[in-house]
Amino acid sequence: MDEAERRRAQEGAEDAQARLDALLAERLAAGSVDGSAPSRLPGWSVGHVLTHVARNADGIVRVLLASETGEVVERYPGGQATRDGDIEAGNARLAADLVGDVRATGDRLRETWSAQTRWDGRSREVRGVEIPVVDLPMVRWREVEVHTVDLGLGVEAADWPSLFVRLELRAMEMRWRARRPMGMSGLPPEALVVDPRTRLAWLYGRTEISGLGPAGVL
């Protein structure tokens, strides 16, 4: 990812965060944020999703701060177990605390990467794989857009910005091809005839397409 792409992803992530913050503020004022309510993710409540979004921001801040001094650190110290434990520990908080956590951590992330001078580092992910720090703004953009839909608070895949859909479709289609036998790399016809947002939601495992099973990409 070059400098222009990184800045574009940062702007997209910040816009997605602003839209999520506005949605949550509106719903909180109306008394319709219930952390114990089921989200659209199996086994996860709304509180689980909101806590995950907040801890995701914390993890990216951790990596960015370390990268400034040339360190490579785990985005979630302790790996998957710590990540899952933090989400479980935070999911049952009051609605106002959940919403405030999402806003505060999003603000801190924006402030941190606005001041970032080094983007040449690496981030150690939960499965031990390392990715370039410069890719993290796109990671964050994806997290916020997708999990906003997962909350089930009125935002749908149909609301995803066109640029986000175009960029992510390209990335997800590459993942699809990487998992197919040679000579069978194209998306199935049933996926190609639906609108791009539905196709992307299917690749994410967030919707079904008639005639197809799960995409199996994530």
In this predicted model, what pLDDT tens digit does every residue of 117-167 receive, in sequence order? 999 999 998 877 899 999 999 999 999 999 999 999 999 999 999 999 999
Mean pLDDT of 36-64: 97
Task: Report, as an integer, the average pLDDT of 90-116.
Answer: 97
CA dist 90 and 47 (Å) reads 7
pLDDT of residue 132: 96
> What mean pLDDT comes out for the span 85-95?
92
Q: Where are the domains of the chain?
A: 3-155, 157-218
Question: In this predicted structure, what is the pLDDT of residue 183?
Answer: 53
Does the structure show a pLDDT above 90 at 23?
A: yes
pLDDT value, residue 178: 85
Domain 3-155: assigned CATH number: 1.20.120.450
- Tell me the CA distances in angstroms from 135 to 39, 91, 138, 172, 196, one per residue in order: 27, 28, 6, 15, 23
Share of the chain above pLDDT 70, in %: 98
User: What's the rounded Cα separation, in Å, for the pair 212 and 200?
Assistant: 14
Helix, strand or coil for residue 123? strand
Residue 11's pLDDT is what? 98
Residue 182: predicted pLDDT? 65
Residue 211 has pLDDT above 80, yes or no: yes
pLDDT of residue 81: 85
Lowest-confidence pick of 129-138, 181-190, 191-200, 209-218: 181-190
pTM over 0.85: yes
Distance CA 72, CA 129 (A): 12
Using a 10 angstrom Cβ sphere, with 0-12 exposed, 13-18 middle and 19 or more buried, the burial of residue 2 is: exposed
**Distances from the Cα of 197 to the Cα of 73, 86, 106, 146, 157, angstroms:** 34, 31, 25, 11, 6
Rounded to an integer, the average pLDDT of 40-68 is: 97
Give the per-residue pLDDT at 79. Answer: 79
